[in-house]
Protein backbone atom coordinates (compact mmCIF):
# COMPACT_ATOMS: atom_id res chain seq x y z
CA UNK A 1 0.00 0.00 0.00
CA UNK A 2 1.40 3.37 -1.03
CA UNK A 3 1.39 6.26 1.44
CA UNK A 4 -0.86 8.34 -0.81
CA UNK A 5 -3.50 5.62 -0.52
CA UNK A 6 -4.10 6.81 3.05
CA UNK A 7 -5.53 10.04 1.63
CA UNK A 8 -9.13 10.43 0.54
CA UNK A 9 -9.83 11.50 -3.03
CA UNK A 10 -10.19 15.22 -2.28
CA UNK A 11 -6.96 15.10 -0.28
CA UNK A 12 -5.19 13.31 -3.14
CA UNK A 13 -6.46 15.95 -5.54
CA UNK A 14 -4.59 18.60 -3.55
CA UNK A 15 -1.52 16.39 -3.16
CA UNK A 16 -1.38 15.74 -6.91
CA UNK A 17 -2.01 19.30 -8.06
CA UNK A 18 0.63 20.47 -10.49
CA UNK A 19 -0.12 24.17 -9.95
CA UNK A 20 2.66 26.35 -8.63
CA UNK A 21 0.15 28.34 -6.59
CA UNK A 22 -2.73 26.41 -5.03
CA UNK A 23 -5.32 27.16 -2.35
CA UNK A 24 -7.27 24.58 -0.35
CA UNK A 25 -10.50 26.26 0.74
CA UNK A 26 -11.55 23.48 3.07
CA UNK A 27 -14.08 23.00 5.83
CA UNK A 28 -13.13 22.24 9.39
CA UNK A 29 -12.30 18.60 10.12
CA UNK A 30 -11.18 17.78 6.60
CA UNK A 31 -7.54 16.95 7.37
CA UNK A 32 -5.70 20.06 6.18
CA UNK A 33 -2.60 19.43 8.30
CA UNK A 34 -2.72 15.71 7.57
CA UNK A 35 -2.67 16.46 3.83
CA UNK A 36 -0.10 19.26 3.76
CA UNK A 37 2.24 17.20 5.93
CA UNK A 38 2.00 14.42 3.35
CA UNK A 39 2.74 16.87 0.53
CA UNK A 40 5.80 18.29 2.29
CA UNK A 41 7.05 14.85 3.33
CA UNK A 42 6.65 13.33 -0.11
CA UNK A 43 8.38 16.31 -1.68
CA UNK A 44 11.26 16.13 0.77
CA UNK A 45 11.64 12.39 0.22
CA UNK A 46 11.57 12.53 -3.58
CA UNK A 47 13.68 15.65 -4.17
CA UNK A 48 17.06 15.46 -2.48
CA UNK A 49 18.28 18.55 -0.61
CA UNK A 50 14.95 20.30 -1.08
CA UNK A 51 13.64 22.74 1.52
CA UNK A 52 10.07 23.03 2.78
CA UNK A 53 8.81 25.73 5.12
CA UNK A 54 5.57 25.22 7.08
CA UNK A 55 4.06 28.31 8.68
CA UNK A 56 0.86 28.48 10.72
CA UNK A 57 -0.88 31.06 12.93
CA UNK A 58 0.77 29.60 16.04
CA UNK A 59 4.00 27.77 16.70
CA UNK A 60 2.03 24.93 18.28
CA UNK A 61 0.13 24.29 15.06
CA UNK A 62 3.22 24.44 12.85
CA UNK A 63 4.97 21.96 15.17
CA UNK A 64 1.96 19.63 15.06
CA UNK A 65 2.18 19.61 11.27
CA UNK A 66 5.92 18.98 11.49
CA UNK A 67 5.23 16.00 13.76
CA UNK A 68 2.85 14.62 11.14
CA UNK A 69 5.66 15.01 8.58
CA UNK A 70 7.89 12.87 10.77
CA UNK A 71 5.19 10.21 10.93
CA UNK A 72 4.89 10.09 7.13
CA UNK A 73 8.66 9.89 6.69
CA UNK A 74 9.08 7.17 9.30
CA UNK A 75 6.24 5.23 7.65
CA UNK A 76 8.39 5.23 4.50
CA UNK A 77 11.30 3.75 6.53
CA UNK A 78 13.48 6.82 5.97
CA UNK A 79 15.64 8.12 8.80
CA UNK A 80 15.01 11.65 10.06
CA UNK A 81 16.70 13.83 12.66
CA UNK A 82 15.55 16.86 14.68
CA UNK A 83 17.40 20.15 15.06
CA UNK A 84 17.00 23.93 15.24
CA UNK A 85 18.12 26.68 12.88
CA UNK A 86 17.98 30.46 13.13
CA UNK A 87 16.42 32.94 10.70
CA UNK A 88 17.14 36.66 10.63
CA UNK A 89 14.29 38.60 12.22
CA UNK A 90 13.07 42.05 11.19
CA UNK A 91 14.69 43.63 14.24
CA UNK A 92 18.37 44.20 13.55
CA UNK A 93 20.54 41.60 15.22
CA UNK A 94 17.67 39.40 16.42
CA UNK A 95 16.91 35.87 15.33
CA UNK A 96 13.93 33.56 14.96
CA UNK A 97 14.45 29.90 15.84
CA UNK A 98 12.90 27.26 13.63
CA UNK A 99 12.39 23.60 14.42
CA UNK A 100 13.79 21.47 11.60
CA UNK A 101 13.68 17.84 10.58
CA UNK A 102 16.37 16.64 8.18
CA UNK A 103 16.12 13.56 6.02
CA UNK A 104 18.97 11.27 5.08
CA UNK A 105 18.88 12.68 1.51
CA UNK A 106 19.68 16.18 2.78
CA UNK A 107 16.14 17.57 2.48
CA UNK A 108 14.82 19.73 5.32
CA UNK A 109 11.35 20.68 6.57
CA UNK A 110 11.11 23.79 8.75
CA UNK A 111 8.27 24.77 11.11
CA UNK A 112 7.65 28.37 12.12
CA UNK A 113 4.80 30.55 13.37
CA UNK A 114 3.47 32.92 10.71
CA UNK A 115 5.88 35.80 11.10
CA UNK A 116 6.77 37.94 8.07
CA UNK A 117 10.48 37.77 8.84
CA UNK A 118 10.47 33.99 8.60
CA UNK A 119 9.48 34.16 4.93
CA UNK A 120 11.87 36.76 3.61
CA UNK A 121 14.61 35.31 1.44
CA UNK A 122 13.41 31.74 1.83
CA UNK A 123 14.25 29.41 -1.04
CA UNK A 124 12.21 26.28 -1.60
CA UNK A 125 8.61 25.19 -1.08
CA UNK A 126 6.17 27.07 1.13
CA UNK A 127 3.11 25.70 2.97
CA UNK A 128 0.84 28.19 4.74
CA UNK A 129 -1.75 26.58 7.00
CA UNK A 130 -4.92 28.43 8.08
CA UNK A 131 -3.85 31.64 6.37
CA UNK A 132 -7.12 33.44 7.20
CA UNK A 133 -6.28 33.26 10.90
CA UNK A 134 -2.85 34.93 10.89
CA UNK A 135 -2.76 37.96 13.18
CA UNK A 136 -0.61 40.05 10.82
CA UNK A 137 -1.99 38.61 7.60
CA UNK A 138 -1.19 41.66 5.47
CA UNK A 139 2.46 41.71 6.51
CA UNK A 140 2.75 37.96 6.00
CA UNK A 141 1.22 38.37 2.54
CA UNK A 142 3.70 41.14 1.68
CA UNK A 143 6.54 38.79 2.57
CA UNK A 144 4.96 35.97 0.54
CA UNK A 145 4.40 38.27 -2.42
CA UNK A 146 8.00 39.49 -2.23
CA UNK A 147 9.41 36.00 -2.56
CA UNK A 148 6.89 35.03 -5.25
CA UNK A 149 7.86 37.87 -7.59
CA UNK A 150 11.60 37.82 -6.77
CA UNK A 151 13.34 35.42 -9.19
CA UNK A 152 16.37 35.34 -6.89
CA UNK A 153 14.27 33.93 -4.01
CA UNK A 154 13.44 30.82 -6.04
CA UNK A 155 10.12 29.94 -4.43
CA UNK A 156 9.18 26.80 -6.28
CA UNK A 157 5.63 26.39 -4.99
CA UNK A 158 3.14 27.93 -2.53
CA UNK A 159 0.32 25.91 -0.97
CA UNK A 160 -2.23 27.79 1.15
CA UNK A 161 -4.91 26.09 3.22
CA UNK A 162 -7.63 27.69 5.29
CA UNK A 163 -11.21 27.84 6.35
CA UNK A 164 -12.78 31.30 5.78
CA UNK A 165 -12.54 33.92 8.50
CA UNK A 166 -14.74 36.72 7.23
CA UNK A 167 -14.58 39.01 4.24
CA UNK A 168 -12.03 41.63 3.23
CA UNK A 169 -8.78 39.92 4.19
CA UNK A 170 -6.11 38.62 1.81
CA UNK A 171 -7.38 35.06 1.92
CA UNK A 172 -10.86 36.18 0.94
CA UNK A 173 -9.41 38.34 -1.84
CA UNK A 174 -7.38 35.46 -3.27
CA UNK A 175 -10.37 33.12 -3.28
CA UNK A 176 -12.70 35.79 -4.62
CA UNK A 177 -10.46 36.78 -7.53
CA UNK A 178 -9.55 33.21 -8.47
CA UNK A 179 -12.79 31.30 -7.80
CA UNK A 180 -15.85 33.28 -6.74
CA UNK A 181 -15.45 36.24 -9.09
CA UNK A 182 -12.43 35.43 -11.30
CA UNK A 183 -10.35 38.45 -12.23
CA UNK A 184 -8.99 37.97 -15.77
CA UNK A 185 -6.41 40.71 -15.19
CA UNK A 186 -4.60 38.80 -12.46
CA UNK A 187 -1.01 38.03 -13.44
CA UNK A 188 -0.55 35.33 -10.81
CA UNK A 189 -3.27 32.69 -11.08
CA UNK A 190 -4.14 30.46 -8.15
CA UNK A 191 -5.83 27.10 -8.37
CA UNK A 192 -8.55 26.97 -5.70
CA UNK A 193 -9.90 23.63 -4.46
CA UNK A 194 -13.07 23.95 -2.36
CA UNK A 195 -14.22 21.15 -0.05
CA UNK A 196 -17.21 21.51 2.30
CA UNK A 197 -18.11 19.18 5.17
CA UNK A 198 -20.81 17.65 2.95
CA UNK A 199 -18.32 16.66 0.23
CA UNK A 200 -15.81 15.39 2.76
CA UNK A 201 -18.43 13.34 4.60
CA UNK A 202 -19.39 11.56 1.38
CA UNK A 203 -15.74 10.54 0.94
CA UNK A 204 -15.54 9.31 4.53
CA UNK A 205 -18.73 7.32 3.98
CA UNK A 206 -17.29 5.64 0.89
CA UNK A 207 -14.14 4.80 2.84
CA UNK A 208 -16.15 3.38 5.75
CA UNK A 209 -14.69 5.85 8.24
CA UNK A 210 -17.89 7.21 9.81
CA UNK A 211 -18.56 4.33 12.16
CA UNK A 212 -21.92 2.67 12.73
CA UNK A 213 -25.35 3.41 14.19
CA UNK A 214 -28.28 1.29 15.32
CA UNK A 215 -31.02 1.45 12.71
CA UNK A 216 -34.26 2.72 14.27
CA UNK A 217 -36.41 0.49 12.06
CA UNK A 218 -34.52 -2.80 12.20
CA UNK A 219 -32.67 -2.41 15.50
CA UNK A 220 -29.55 -3.66 13.76
CA UNK A 221 -26.16 -2.04 13.41
CA UNK A 222 -25.43 -0.41 10.05
CA UNK A 223 -22.88 2.06 8.60
CA UNK A 224 -23.48 5.70 9.42
CA UNK A 225 -24.40 7.85 6.42
CA UNK A 226 -22.77 11.12 5.41
CA UNK A 227 -26.01 12.96 6.14
CA UNK A 228 -26.21 11.51 9.63
CA UNK A 229 -22.59 12.42 10.33
CA UNK A 230 -23.06 16.03 9.16
CA UNK A 231 -26.20 16.31 11.31
CA UNK A 232 -24.24 15.11 14.35
CA UNK A 233 -21.43 17.61 13.71
CA UNK A 234 -23.93 20.45 13.24
CA UNK A 235 -25.67 19.60 16.50
CA UNK A 236 -22.41 19.29 18.42
CA UNK A 237 -21.06 22.53 16.92
CA UNK A 238 -24.22 24.29 18.19
CA UNK A 239 -23.38 27.66 16.60
CA UNK A 240 -25.78 27.91 13.65
CA UNK A 241 -24.76 31.43 12.66
CA UNK A 242 -21.13 30.32 12.15
CA UNK A 243 -21.90 26.95 10.50
CA UNK A 244 -21.93 28.22 6.87
CA UNK A 245 -18.44 29.69 7.26
CA UNK A 246 -16.75 27.01 9.34
CA UNK A 247 -18.18 23.98 7.53
CA UNK A 248 -19.57 25.15 4.18
CA UNK A 249 -16.72 27.52 3.22
CA UNK A 250 -18.86 30.64 2.89
CA UNK A 251 -17.25 33.99 3.64
CA UNK A 252 -19.44 35.76 6.19
CA UNK A 253 -19.33 39.44 7.02
CA UNK A 254 -16.47 40.07 9.45
CA UNK A 255 -18.87 41.39 12.08
CA UNK A 256 -20.47 37.92 12.15
CA UNK A 257 -17.29 36.20 13.36
CA UNK A 258 -18.10 34.94 16.84
CA UNK A 259 -15.41 32.31 17.31
CA UNK A 260 -11.77 32.90 18.14
CA UNK A 261 -9.02 30.88 16.53
CA UNK A 262 -8.26 29.13 19.83
CA UNK A 263 -11.93 28.17 20.23
CA UNK A 264 -12.00 26.71 16.72
CA UNK A 265 -8.77 24.72 16.97
CA UNK A 266 -9.80 23.34 20.35
CA UNK A 267 -12.77 21.71 18.65
CA UNK A 268 -10.81 20.34 15.67
CA UNK A 269 -10.20 16.66 15.13
CA UNK A 270 -6.60 15.50 15.42
CA UNK A 271 -6.23 15.30 11.65
CA UNK A 272 -8.03 18.55 10.81
Rounded CA separation 65/33 (Å): 6
% residues pLDDT > 90 (the chain): 69
pLDDT in tens, 47-93: 999 999 998 998 899 999 999 999 999 999 999 999 998 776 655 55
Residue 53 to residues 39, 79, 107, 265: CA-CA distances in angstroms? 12, 19, 11, 21
Confidence label for 112 from pLDDT (cuts 50, 70 and 90)? confident
pLDDT in tens, 146-190: 766 666 656 688 999 999 999 999 999 999 999 999 999 888 899
pLDDT in tens, 114-138: 766 666 667 789 999 999 999 878 8
Instruction: Supply the angle between the helices 59-75 and 32-46 in degrees, to the nearest 10.
Output: 50
Flag the least confident range among 34-38, 110-114, 240-244. 110-114
Sheet containing 124-129, strands listed edge to edge, beginning at the edge strand earlier in sequence: 80-88, 95-103, 108-113, 51-56, 124-129, 155-162, 21-26, 191-195
pLDDT of residue 269: 47
pTM above the 0.75 mark?
yes
What residues have CB less than 8 Å from 94, skipping those under 6 apart? 88
Q: Is the pLDDT of residue 233 over 50?
A: yes
pLDDT of residue 259: 54
pLDDT of residue 257: 56
Flag the least confident range among 37-41, 76-80, 155-159, 209-213. 155-159
pLDDT of residue 124: 83
What residue ranges in the chain does DSSP mark as E strands?
21-26, 51-56, 80-88, 95-103, 108-113, 124-129, 155-162, 191-195, 212-214, 221-223
Residue-averaged pLDDT of the chain? 88
Burial track 28-51 (b if 16+ CB lie within 10 A, e otherwise): bbbbbbbbbbbbbbbbbbebeebb
Rounded CA separation 260/258 (Å): 7
Amino acid sequence: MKLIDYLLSFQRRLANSASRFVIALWSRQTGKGFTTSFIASRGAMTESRSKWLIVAPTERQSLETLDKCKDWIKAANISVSDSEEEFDALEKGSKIKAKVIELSNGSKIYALPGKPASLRGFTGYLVIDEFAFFEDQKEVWKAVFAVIVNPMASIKRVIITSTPNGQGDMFHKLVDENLLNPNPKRKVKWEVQKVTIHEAAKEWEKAGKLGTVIDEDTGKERPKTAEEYVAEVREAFDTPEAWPQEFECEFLDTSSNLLTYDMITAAESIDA
